[in-house]
Chain A
Amino acid sequence: MPIPEVAESFTGAVNRVTLGATKDDGGTRTKTVTVGGARNVVYGGSPEEAGETPVVAMDVLDTKPEDWPDALAEPLSDVLDSPGDWAKKCVEELGADLICLKFEGIHPDKADKDAAHAVKVTEEVLKAVAVPLVLWGCGNDEKDNEVMPKVSGAAKGEKCLIGTVTEDNYKSLTAIALADGHFLITEAPLDINIAKQVNILASDMGFPLDRIVTYQSTGALGYGIEYAYSIQERQRLAALGGDKMMAMPVICDVGYESWRAKEAKLEDAPGWGAVDDRGPMWETATAICLLQAGVDIIRLRHPKAVATVKGFIGKVWS
């Protein structure tokens, strides 16, 4: 039976972004990672319109995490106190496409480490792995402004993805990321209007739009994921509609958010299955949900979640 044509004629597309600088490009990475490029909604049209394959960035923390549930800490227990070894394990054994170095330990209410520590860890991880890095601050504006410019400098020319900048705190990191040749993560608190506003602010400082990746905030499955889901779908539609201020690839923080969920960490929960299965499943499920709404870079933590999510991506983006 003849079927009516349903092809949409979108005028825009998601920007294509290539992270990581090789030797020829002035850096030391031997691998680069390209994301974005979608010319349709998720599963709209044909697989050729889906753009680049979504990638997994595994989290590496600058200081040993003290509050991780056993189910999460156990598979990484041999490397948690060494960011370099941790990153190496993620790339060489667990299939991480990128490493997201999260500077949890610089937070004044946590380990309150200084810039020298952050620079040392950055150098260590750059040396340990050949993939591009994501460099992510602690969320405390003052401390991030003090430390992250130094981190940026330590990775100068490597074309890292650095962030995050927000509506209220974007100037110093945007300026330094521009000077050091990095890509920038703009963050908004589950609010599509603020998301656009932060992009405009960064752009007004002369930061090129095609070097921005947006972070809309992430809710875990069962904890507000529907908000992130719909914002990501709306962002994709805006990009396809030709809105240059919303045409960036998207990153989400699945690892941290998922492992906060009760379903992931509650040890004794009769009827819910073993906690060792539940945690990775919750992380996987959160990632899979967000993939359906259009996401380009997924931050993950547990090896099993990485394997399952990459397995899904392999089946659907090829």
Chain B
Amino acid sequence: MALTGLEIFKLLPKTNCKKCGMPTCLAFAMALAQKRAKLEDCPDVSEEAKEKLAAAAAPPMRKIVFGSGDAQVQVGQETVMFRHEEKFHNETVVAASVSDKLTGDELTKRIESVNALQFERVGTKIGAKAVAVLNESGSAESFAKACAAVNDGCDLAMILVTESAEAMAAAVTKVKDGVPLLAFAAADTAEAMAKIAKDNGCPLAAKAESVEVLAELTEKIKAAGVEDIVLALDAPGLQEQLYGLSKMRALALKKAFRPLGYPAMTHVCDGDGAEQGATAIGLICKYSSIVIVDTVEPYALLAALTAVMNVFSDPQKPVQVEPKVYPIGEPDENAPVMFTTNFSLTYYTVESDVEASRVPSYILVVDTEGTSVLTAYSGDKLNEKTVADAIAKYKVESLVKHRKLIIPGYVAVMSGKLEEATNWEVMVGPRECSMLPKYLQEAWN
């Protein structure tokens, strides 16, 4: 956790020698706190102060990277409890599981199902970012074989899940180039697992039944030379898991409690696709940086991955859609044309209602820098000129024969100027776009 200027000041020599270029040690401390100065500028600082300041400068939650090449993922380094306080930094990695009990065709099919969990939303690709191989067979040999097969058949980052150090050692030799995440080290396997992780340069997940025991375990693993650690709480139920995750996040961020300053992971294995999807979303929202699911139902993953996308979006930046003409259905040269803004929320509401109308249409999206209709209008980002420019830029006149433009009811006031600027006949649409289906069906026939 970052120190305040006064806390830093206490660690400085307090000689006001000016060698750093600042008039006083206090001024230098303030500059340090604001990251406008470097500690090296002070020639007389003590070793103790250096250590304390370096420790305080480290992020409260460590960043953990696993997988290699294009499949590399990173989690952790979160700084806030609530997204509105700043933003969440690294999207939760959703991983689908593959059991090592599967062999032959069954194994191949399962890997194909995992590979199919890639989707596109709002022009962005989302998908399962990791695959977790589960040592359910109890055999080290089967586990190593399954890991090798998954490594061959699937491009995603790997998580090797076994309680047995023997199985972990057997598997990791086959797939270590992919830098898998090794899960899990428990109190009795900590040393053996830490050695495997260290020798192969892989991060290691620690698992314990309580937050207290987990904190001890991570210290033990760190002492054994592994710094990249992931937390796994072996909770008896979902309630305990969620409260535990919140507690660990708060300890890391608010108390700078280093033994828990790592991202957390969970495994959802109960229930059908919908129940697993629901549980996964709870864990995604409240602080599990890696979520393994046993379901490979696309409907469940699509929902969970959309939740990741939404919750991890930057609250400071309005989500925008690309300004252009969007055909809805299969519009022809007689289809209605309407415009809206490029604020994604506005656009998708309009799109959904135009779809519901079943009237094939064109939606012209005007670039309003991601603001809604009224905000854009009052900010002069939506006016006769920006609409006319968009009509010209996206060649709307070549799409339809008619020259009728439906405008949002909220900006009816711009009708006159818009008609002058475009030579199109303006039709004022409804204020609420939930009225669009009725409007289109009636006004356009």
With A1-B219, A3-B211 already in contact, the answer to whether A109 and B438 are too (CB < 8 A) is yes
B298 interface residue per 8 A CB criterion: yes
A42: B residues at CB distance < 8 A: 246, 286
A201 interface residue per 8 A CB criterion: no
A284: B residues at CB distance < 8 A: 274, 277-278, 303
* Interface hits, B334-380 → A, CB 8 Å: 344-345, 348-349, 351-353, 355-356
A44→B116 CA distance, assembly (Å): 37
> How would residues 231 to 259 of chain A score, 1 for a CB under 8 Å from any chain B CB and 0 otherwise?
00110010000000000000000000000
A43: B residues at CB distance < 8 A: 242-243, 245-246, 286
Asked if A277 and B273 make an inter-chain contact with CB atoms under 8 angstroms apart, the answer reads yes
With A272-B298, A273-B297 already in contact, the answer to whether A1 and B352 are too (CB < 8 A) is no
A316→B122 CA distance, assembly (Å): 32
A95→B274 CA distance, assembly (Å): 18
B4 interface residue per 8 A CB criterion: no
Asked if A260 and B356 make an inter-chain contact with CB atoms under 8 angstroms apart, the answer reads yes
Instruction: Bin the interface of chain A by size.
Output: 35 or more
A179-187, A204-212, A285-293: which lies at the interface: A285-293
A274→B259 CA distance, assembly (Å): 45
Q: Which residue of A lies closest to B283 (CB)?
A: A292
* Interface hits, B217-264 → A, CB 8 Å: 219, 237-239, 242-243, 245-247, 250-251, 254-255, 257, 259
A271: B residues at CB distance < 8 A: 116, 119, 298
A193→B250 CA distance, assembly (Å): 28
B57: A residues at CB distance < 8 A: none
A315: B residues at CB distance < 8 A: 237-239
Q: Which residue of B lies closest to A260 (CB)?
A: B352
Q: Which of B215, B356, B437 contacts A3 (CB 8 A)?
A: B215
B436 to chain A, nearest CB (A): 11
A293→B121 CA distance, assembly (Å): 23
A297 to chain B, nearest CB (A): 18
A75 interface residue per 8 A CB criterion: no
A282→B303 CA distance, assembly (Å): 6
Q: Which residue of B lies closest to A266 (CB)?
A: B355
Q: Which of A229, A282, A317 contacts B311 (CB 8 A)?
A: A229
Asked if A285 and B356 make an inter-chain contact with CB atoms under 8 angstroms apart, the answer reads no
Asked if A221 and B238 make an inter-chain contact with CB atoms under 8 angstroms apart, the answer reads no
A221→B432 CA distance, assembly (Å): 20
Asked if A292 and B285 make an inter-chain contact with CB atoms under 8 angstroms apart, the answer reads yes
Which of B213, B273, B352: most chain A Cβ within 10 A? B352
B353: A residues at CB distance < 8 A: 260
Which of B211, B279, B303, B311: most chain A Cβ within 10 A? B303
A281→B271 CA distance, assembly (Å): 14
B435: A residues at CB distance < 8 A: 109
Asked if A226 and B299 make an inter-chain contact with CB atoms under 8 angstroms apart, the answer reads no
A69 to chain B, nearest CB (A): 10
A221→B345 CA distance, assembly (Å): 11
B332 interface residue per 8 A CB criterion: no
Asked if B299 and A312 make an inter-chain contact with CB atoms under 8 angstroms apart, the answer reads no
Q: Which of B243, B255, B306 contacts A285 (CB 8 A)?
A: B306
Asked if B345 and A224 make an inter-chain contact with CB atoms under 8 angstroms apart, the answer reads yes
A272: B residues at CB distance < 8 A: 119, 298-299, 302
> How would residues 1 to 20 of chain A score, 1 for a CB under 8 Å from any chain B CB and 0 otherwise?
11110100000000000000
A274→B274 CA distance, assembly (Å): 12
Asked if B279 and A312 make an inter-chain contact with CB atoms under 8 angstroms apart, the answer reads yes
Q: Which residue of A lies closest to B302 (CB)?
A: A272
Q: Which residue of A lies closest to B435 (CB)?
A: A109
A149-157, A167-175, A303-311: which lies at the interface: A303-311
A228→B2 CA distance, assembly (Å): 31
A31 interface residue per 8 A CB criterion: no
B282: A residues at CB distance < 8 A: 288, 291-292, 312, 316
A297→B435 CA distance, assembly (Å): 27
Asked if B243 and A47 make an inter-chain contact with CB atoms under 8 angstroms apart, the answer reads yes
B440 to chain A, nearest CB (A): 12
Which of B121, B310, B355: most chain A Cβ within 10 A? B310
Asked if B310 and A225 make an inter-chain contact with CB atoms under 8 angstroms apart, the answer reads yes
Asked if B307 and A289 make an inter-chain contact with CB atoms under 8 angstroms apart, the answer reads yes
A315→B353 CA distance, assembly (Å): 36
Asked if B299 and A273 make an inter-chain contact with CB atoms under 8 angstroms apart, the answer reads yes
Asked if B306 and A263 make an inter-chain contact with CB atoms under 8 angstroms apart, the answer reads yes
With A288-B282, A318-B239 already in contact, the answer to whether A226 and B303 are too (CB < 8 A) is no
Asked if B83 and A226 make an inter-chain contact with CB atoms under 8 angstroms apart, the answer reads yes
With A224-B345, A288-B282 already in contact, the answer to whether A281 and B242 are too (CB < 8 A) is no
B279: A residues at CB distance < 8 A: 312
A298 to chain B, nearest CB (A): 13
Asked if B251 and A277 make an inter-chain contact with CB atoms under 8 angstroms apart, the answer reads no
B275 interface residue per 8 A CB criterion: yes
> How would residues 258 to 297 of chain B score, 1 for a CB under 8 Å from any chain A CB and 0 otherwise?
0100000000000101110111011001100000000001
A3→B251 CA distance, assembly (Å): 8
B355: A residues at CB distance < 8 A: 262
Q: Which of B84, B275, B304 contacts A234 (CB 8 A)?
A: B84
Q: Which of A110, A223, A227, A230 contacts B82 (CB 8 A)?
A: A230
A113 interface residue per 8 A CB criterion: no
| Contacts A/B (CB < 8 Å), 15 sampled | A44-B246, A44-B250, A109-B435, A221-B306, A226-B315, A229-B311, A230-B315, A273-B302, A288-B281, A292-B285, A308-B274, A308-B278, A309-B278, A312-B278, A315-B239
Given contacts A271-B116, A289-B310, 18 further A-B contacts (CB under 8 A): A2-B212, A3-B215, A41-B81, A42-B246, A229-B310, A230-B82, A263-B306, A273-B300, A278-B299, A281-B299, A284-B277, A285-B281, A289-B307, A292-B281, A292-B285, A304-B274, A311-B275, A311-B278
| A-B CB proximity, top 10 nearest | A273-B299, A292-B285, A285-B303, A43-B246, A224-B345, A273-B298, A230-B84, A278-B299, A4-B255, A315-B238
